[in-house]
Amino acid sequence: MTPIFYASIILLFVAVALAMEGAYEYWNSRHGPVARRVDSRIRAVSAGGQVSRERLSILKTRMLAGSSLPARLLLRVPRVHAIDLFLQQSGMTWTVARLIGTCAALPPLVLLLGTLFAVPLLFTAIGAALSAMLPVLYVQRRRNRRIRLLERQLPDVCDMLARALRSGHAFTGAIDMVSTEFSEPISGEFRITFDEINYGVSISEALTNLATRVPIRDLRYFVIAVVIQRETGGNLSEVLDGIAALIRERFKLFDKVRVLSAEGKMSAWVLGLLPFGTAALMMLGNPGFLDVLWHDPAGIKMLGTVLVSMVFGAFWMRRVVKIRV
């Protein structure tokens, strides 16, 4: 073994270590915690924030510079930021391009599966059309769940802000306390608000952006109360205590209404799933018994009428049992 051999081994080890370090730094600068936090701030402002035109143009330029060609084309489509706001309200990391691409990829897959399993063309086409809405429904479900969690956390936030103001903290310091001591998702939203205030955005504008990102009626009452108090004066801690008490009383009434409407919701689920369950049991017992519904024209018309009636009935029962409080 010559010294050149040992030197080459050491240099190779150093080169591999430096290459791995460079790859990690590159990945961390693009996908690390700091990069994700900056990207979430940019998306938060570009999706629904009220900012000046110059600042918004800078943000759009930053988003376009770091995006692929399809994403750049999507960002130039009108109202696409409303979809981005919808995704941000769900708490998911999906982009607009991913949502649209998923919606476009599911129908061909359903058509292919329907062709492989010899499903009638009408039902395959209906399934393909409905599959395009599945990603949107999934994001909507995640958004509703996150908004309900935000609603449940809001009274405690108001209580903490009131206690912080009574103890002598400034309002911005109280917002910082909420962003650090509460759990997600309310802490993330108030952290964005606190960062906007530190970046030079006025408190009224930052709170308006918060109400835009979080479409909760009680949070809008909170924002309106804070904005009016900053313009006219008054005891903000007492106002926050009143808002917290009002939200908790509304939750109590809502829980009572939900208990009373539970029977109607259960009836809707049973009536909606009973035909499909009965048909599945009949096909297991006698596989050819329901073939007339797929092959006979009258059977196809009957199935179409039944499906339309069931959809109409489901929407009607949902409207009956949905009570706003």
**65 has a pLDDT exceeding 50:** no
Are 218 and 258 contained in the same domain? no
The Cα-based distances of 306 to 189, 273, 278, 302 in angstroms read: 45, 13, 14, 6
**42 has a pLDDT exceeding 70:** no
Q: Is residue 307, in this structure, part of any structural domain at all?
A: yes
Mean pLDDT to the nearest integer, 294-299: 80
Are 162 and 198 contained in the same domain? yes
| Residue 169 main-chain phi, psi, to 5 deg | -75, 150
Name the residue with higher pLDDT: 255 or 37.
255
Of the three residues 194, 224, 243, the one that is the final residue of a domain is 243
Q: How far apart are CA 312 and CA 317, in angstroms?
A: 9
CATH number for the domain spanning 220: value is 1.20.81
Q: Is residue 210, in this structure, part of any structural domain at all?
A: yes
Q: Is residue 53, in this structure, part of any structural domain at all?
A: no
Q: Is residue 287, in this structure, part of any structural domain at all?
A: yes
Name the residue with higher pLDDT: 81 or 282.
282
Cis bond before residue 185 (omega within 30° of 0)? yes
228: helix, strand or coil: helix
Q: What is the pLDDT of residue 62?
A: 42
Are 221 and 302 contained in the same domain? no
| In the chain, % of residues over pLDDT 90 | 19
Are 239 and 258 contained in the same domain? no
Are 260 and 283 contained in the same domain? yes
Are 268 and 303 contained in the same domain? yes
DSSP state of 214: S
Are 234 and 257 contained in the same domain? no
**48 has a pLDDT exceeding 50:** no
**67 has a pLDDT exceeding 60:** no
Q: What is the pLDDT of residue 61?
A: 47
Query: What DSSP assignment string belongs to 142-199?
Result: HHHHHHHHHHHHHHHHHHHHHHHHHTT--HHHHHHHHHHHSPTTHHHHHHHHHHHHHT
Of the three residues 243, 259, 291, the one that is the final residue of a domain is 243
Are 225 and 303 contained in the same domain? no
pLDDT band for position 81 (cuts 50, 70, 90): confident
**44 has a pLDDT exceeding 60:** no
Are 158 and 238 contained in the same domain? yes
Q: Is residue 54, in this structure, part of any structural domain at all?
A: no
Are 224 and 274 contained in the same domain? no
The Cα-based distances of 262 to 4, 248, 272 in angstroms read: 80, 21, 15
Is the CA virtual torsion 29, 35, 38, 42 positive or negative? positive
Q: Which of 190-199, 301-310, 315-324 has maximum average pLDDT? A: 190-199
Are 262 and 223 contained in the same domain? no
pLDDT tens profile 5-35:
666 777 777 777 777 777 777 766 666 665 5
Of the three residues 243, 274, 291, the one that is the final residue of a domain is 243
Query: Please, how many CA atoms are within 13 Å of residue 249, restricted to the half-sphere of its CB?
Result: 6
Q: What is the pLDDT of residue 138?
A: 94
Domain with 277 in it: 251-321
Query: What DSSP assignment string belongs to 26-86?
Result: HHHHHHSHHHHHHHHHHHHHHHH----HHHHHHHHHHHHHTS-HHHHHHHTSTTHHHHHHH
Q: Is residue 118, in this structure, part of any structural domain at all?
A: no
- Say if CB 150 and CB 214 are below 8 A apart: yes
pLDDT tens profile 88-138:
888 888 888 888 889 999 999 988 888 887 777 777 888 888 899 999 999
Element (H, E) at 208: helix 203-213
**59 has a pLDDT exceeding 70:** no
Q: What is the pLDDT of residue 176?
A: 92
pTM confidence score = 0.69
What is the tally of structural domains in the chain?
A: 2
Q: Is residue 85, in this structure, part of any structural domain at all?
A: no
Q: What's at 112, amino acid-wise?
A: L
Are 270 and 218 contained in the same domain? no
Name the residue with higher pLDDT: 222 or 28.
222
Q: Is residue 203, in this structure, part of any structural domain at all?
A: yes
